[in-house]
């Protein structure tokens, strides 16, 4: 046999081996999760006050999920639902110990007996990394490295839980810790560089784990107030604002920093671009599912963040508090440039990723999330007969199909048809008694199910704030 023929045969064998390996290797998963970003705070969701070219491109190459929900309108319970696939009240994570979210040195945290999305994927051989904001307990027993993540870099709760909080006289917050795995490496880090540093850790994780399946979770601390951006994104900021920020002198000027919203979103968009470019540079683009979403709607008193056409904001169970701007991309697997308005939730990511990774979903407990892969790919409608809206431990509303029923003190109060009234402006409760009856039955059945099938959070004795 001629040498050229031998080389050709070897190349065919190598190509066949690589193709088989690529086909057998399960997909990578990347969740990019921002903080307090409204439904209207992306260009591809109609935002004119922001510039998000990389996320808009991601939407063009993938799908906009226009009825995608979180399970709570504030940080801690929303993140608990994402991690466990369960409604927060089912796992006693709808509230902090004595506040709406967990605070520094809180004795409460996500129970280590819960099985997180990271732990599910680790059973299938995945490397797991998390870089950003945790907010599910800051005691050692509750940290990400005890909940399925191989690597962690970030802050244990919101970056406004620090000594510069506007109501520090009331809260008396300790210094903000920055962790690498379980070690506090800095106190009160320069928050202007958090987005940049989180992105660098995420990029490094991809590059170091490119030869094996991985799950990467990037929960950015912003655009939660106070807003911070790194110097390259300050070029468009006016001299007056820069002068006020230079005069902070150890304090944080929240009101002035609110004006950095455009820049904060631009840096998030840059970060998304860095992740997508790294996947492509390492040959992982076509074997990676990337989803971008947020933990809840925008704060009530902001003049910059926007719920878009939705009513309500962070902390409410109107659509603006829990329906999130969501973009999902997986070239060749998810239809490009198509909107998907089926009901889906962050709770669905655990069973969906498990199915795609050939991992087992826990069968010894109720998981509220559903496998939405057929829904994402347009092969079927939503698997959710109903979706439920909680504010803290209070069950406030239910959506079934296009109908949404709000309650007041447990009694039906408002009914909206979201198909033609996405802004929840026209209460039609009096003209559709049969719909009210049907949705109210969903509420009663679900409340009983939660009461009969719930699991406890975990608590520690003598909790202490993290310190270096």
Cite the active site residues. Answer: 75, 135
Report the side by side order of strands in the sheet with 403-408. Answer: 387-391, 394-400, 403-408, 411-417
Q: At what angle do helices 53-61 and 261-281 cross, to 10 degrees?
A: 50
Whether residue 143 has a cis bond before it, omega within 30° of 0: no
User: Of 77, 113, 130, 79, which is closest to residue 459 (Cα–Cα)?
Assistant: 113
417, containing H or E segment: strand 411-417
Number of other CB atoms surrounding residue 120 within 10 Å: 25
Rounded CA-CA distance 61/73 in Å is 29
SS3 of 17-75: HHHHHHHHCCCEEEEEEECCCCCCCCHHHCCCCCCCHHHHHHHHHCEEECCEECCCCCH
- Check: CB of residue 33 under 8 Å from CB of residue 132: yes
User: Judging by beta carbons within 10 Å of its beta carbon (0-12, 13-18, 19+), is residue 371 exposed, middle or buried?
Assistant: middle
Q: Rounded to the nearest 10 degrees, what angle do helices 75-84 and 349-357 cross at? A: 30
- 64 strand-pairing partners: 327, 339
Two structure tokens written together for 391: 């504010």
């Amino acid at each position: 046999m001629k040498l050229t023929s031998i080389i050709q045969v070897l190349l065919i064998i190598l190509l066949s081996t690589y193709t088989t390996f690529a086909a057998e290797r399960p997909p990578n998963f990347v969740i990019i999760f921002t903080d307090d970003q409204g439904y209207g705070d992306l260009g591809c969701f109609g935002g004119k006050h922001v510039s998000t070219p990389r996320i808009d491109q991601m939407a063009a190459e993938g799908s906009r999920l226009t009825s995608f929900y979180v399970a709570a309108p504030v940080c801690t319970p929303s993140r608990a639902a994402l991690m466990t696939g369960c409604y927060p009240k089912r796992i006693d994570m709808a509230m902090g110990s004595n506040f709406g979210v967990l605070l520094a040195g809180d004795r409460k945290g996500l129970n280590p007996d819960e099985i997180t999305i990271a732990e599910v994927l680790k059973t299938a051989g995945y490397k797991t990394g998390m870089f950003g904001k945790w907010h599910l307990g800051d005691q050692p027993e509750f940290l990400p490295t005890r909940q399925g993540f191989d690597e962690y870099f970030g802050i244990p709760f919101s970056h406004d839980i620090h000594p510069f909080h506007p109501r520090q006289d009331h809260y008396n917050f300790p210094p903000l810790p920055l962790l690498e795995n379980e070690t506090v490496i800095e106190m009160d880090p320069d928050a202007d560089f958090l987005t940049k540093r989180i992105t660098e850790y995420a990029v490094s994780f991809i590059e170091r784990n490119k030869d094996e399946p991985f799950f990467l979770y990037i929960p950015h601390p912003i655009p939660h107030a106070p807003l911070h951006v790194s110097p390259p994104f300050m070029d468009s900021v006016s001299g007056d604002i820069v002068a006020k920020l230079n005069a902070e002198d150890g304090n944080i000027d929240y009101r002035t920093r609110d004006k950095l919203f455009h820049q904060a979103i631009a840096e998030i968009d840059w970060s998304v671009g860095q992740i997508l470019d790294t996947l492509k540079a390492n040959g992982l683009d076509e074997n990676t599912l990337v989803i971008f979403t947020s933990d809840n709607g925008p704060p009530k008193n902001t003049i910059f963040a926007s719920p878009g056409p939705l009513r309500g904001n962070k902390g409410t169970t109107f659509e603006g508090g829990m329906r999130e701007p969501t973009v999902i991309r997986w070239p060749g697997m998810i239809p490009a440039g198509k909107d998907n308005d089926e009901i889906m939730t962050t709770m669905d990511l655990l069973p969906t990723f498990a199915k795609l990774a050939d991992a087992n979903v826990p069968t010894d407990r109720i998981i509220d999330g559903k496998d939405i892969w057929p829904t994402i790919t347009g092969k079927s409608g939503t698997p959710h007969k109903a979706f439920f809206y909680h504010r803290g431990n209070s069950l406030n509303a239910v959506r079934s199909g296009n109908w949404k029923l709000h309650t007041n003190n447990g009694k039906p109060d408002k009914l909206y048809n979201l198909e033609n009234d996405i802004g929840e402006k026209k209460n039609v409760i009096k003209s559709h008694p049969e719909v009210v009856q049907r949705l109210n039955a969903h509420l009663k059945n679900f409340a009983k199910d939660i009461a009969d099938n719930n699991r406890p959070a975990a608590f520690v004795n003598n909790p202490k704030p993290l310190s270096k």
